[in-house]
Amino acid sequence: MGGLDRSCRQSLFFEAPGVITLHEAPLPAPAAGQVLVRAWLSAISPGTEMLIYRGQFPSSLALDENLTSLAGGFAYPLKYGYSAVGQVVGLGEGVDPVWEGRWVFAFNPHESCFLVEPGGLLPLPEGVDADDAVFLPNMETAVSLVMDGAPLIGERVAVLGQGVVGLLTTALLSRFPLERLAAYDPLPLRRRVSLELGAQECHDPYAAQFPAAADADLVYELSGSPAALDLAIALAAYSGRIVVGSWYGSKRASLDLGGRFHRERIRLVSSQVSTLAPELRGRWSKERRFALAWDMLRQVRPANLITHRFALAQAGRAYELIDQHPDQALQVILTYD
């Protein structure tokens, strides 16, 4: 891949498992009602995008029916990504001039510039810079997970998986008056950061001395590993609830449901950020949840979770790092300057 050419649009494509390319096209001009956004940075999702990179996605599933930028289904070649921050540099006919020069967030794939209607953009609010704003999708997911789990005062809570979503969920849960907040991850870097973000304890689930008391009122399974569901069941107390926020793609989950799960009334709850839980829809909207996510970004300041930055031309190295050395990386960013 060559360097970034600002005279054309460069878009990242997944061509096949383990194969990343850049496609170039003439720089587009905004049509009526559109704006042109130059990307500044975009975040790689180490969960969903690794399933695509490894070819572990279900081909029968739509990309995201709620996002126009991700229309269609999972099939190579595939342009993907959903966390871009940039600046509006061109206006189409009829667009309010207030958008000119605005810094914005967009659920857009990894590419140097893109066309979008203003309704598909979220202006960066005061007090949130680009490095924090790029975490908006993951923060919204963490907010959604906490809402779906509905932790109560004095509860014992466990979080399995301390990737970016797990870490942000831990950071939010640490603001609740819980009796205990325990996190679990096999990677030392993640365990250390988890403690810094508010976990009272963080364990390696594969360690021989791993404490496995079945007393958690609420367990979050955010590891991306189907095998972790058995551990979640082992940690849950009687009538405990397990919120499954992981997306396993085409990976199958083989569960032991013949023991404690059946007799102790343990509940499995699916959580997915694209929608709001039915019991919340009378009072909550996506707009209200976004406002809360922006506020949490101001409080948590997750930019410190960025461990690596790669120019778009070096995107292949970025995905190789996440795939082969997850112990070294938390949030990996693509840059477009």
Closest CA to 111 of 77, 71, 81: 81
CA distance 137 to 143: 10
Q: Rounded to 5 degrees, what are φ and ψ at 159? A: -125, 115
- What is the predicted pLDDT for the residue at 2? 45
Nearest alpha-carbon partner for 174 in 197, 147, 191: 197
In this prediction, residue 108 carries a pLDDT of 96
Residue 311 has what pLDDT? Answer: 97
Question: Quick one: tokens of 154?
Answer: 């004095």
Judge whether 264 and 270 are in contact, CB under 8 Å. Answer: no
Closest CA to 304 of 201, 196, 186: 196
Pure H helices in the chain: 48-53, 130-133, 136-149, 164-173, 188-196, 228-235, 260-263, 286-300, 315-324
Predicted local distance difference test score (pLDDT) of residue 246: 83
Q: What is the rounded distance in angstroms from the CA atom of residue 95 to the CA atom of residue 267?
A: 49
Q: Comparing C-alpha atoms, which of 277, 335, 326 is closest to residue 166?
A: 326
For residue 247, the model assigns a pLDDT of 80
pTM, entire model: 0.91
Looking at residue 226, what is its pLDDT? Answer: 81
Q: How far is CA 234 from the centre of its chain?
A: 26
Contacts of 174 (CB under 8 A, 6+ apart): 181, 197, 198, 199
In this structure, how many other beta carbons lie within 10 angstroms of the beta carbon of residue 235? 25
pLDDT of the residue at 225: 84
Of all helices (H) and strands (E), which one includes residue 134? none
Q: What is the pLDDT of residue 130?
A: 97
Which pLDDT score is estimated for 330? 97
Residues near 291 by Cβ (< 8 Å), separated by ≥ 6?
none
Task: Count CB-CB contacts under 10 A for residue 11.
Answer: 18
How far is Cα 49 from Cα 274, in angstroms, rounded to an integer? 17
Q: Which residue is it, tokens 């019991």?
A: 279
Chain centre to alpha carbon of residue 118: 23
* Domains of the chain, start order: 8-124+301-335 (3.90.180.10), 138-279 (3.40.50.720)
CA dist., res. 279 & res. 17, Å (int):
39
Can you list the residues of the chain whose pLDDT is less than 50?
1-2, 69
Helices 188-196 and 164-173: crossing angle, nearest 10°?
Answer: 30
**How confident is the model at residue 208, as a pLDDT?**
61
* Gyration radius (Cα) of the chain, Å: 20
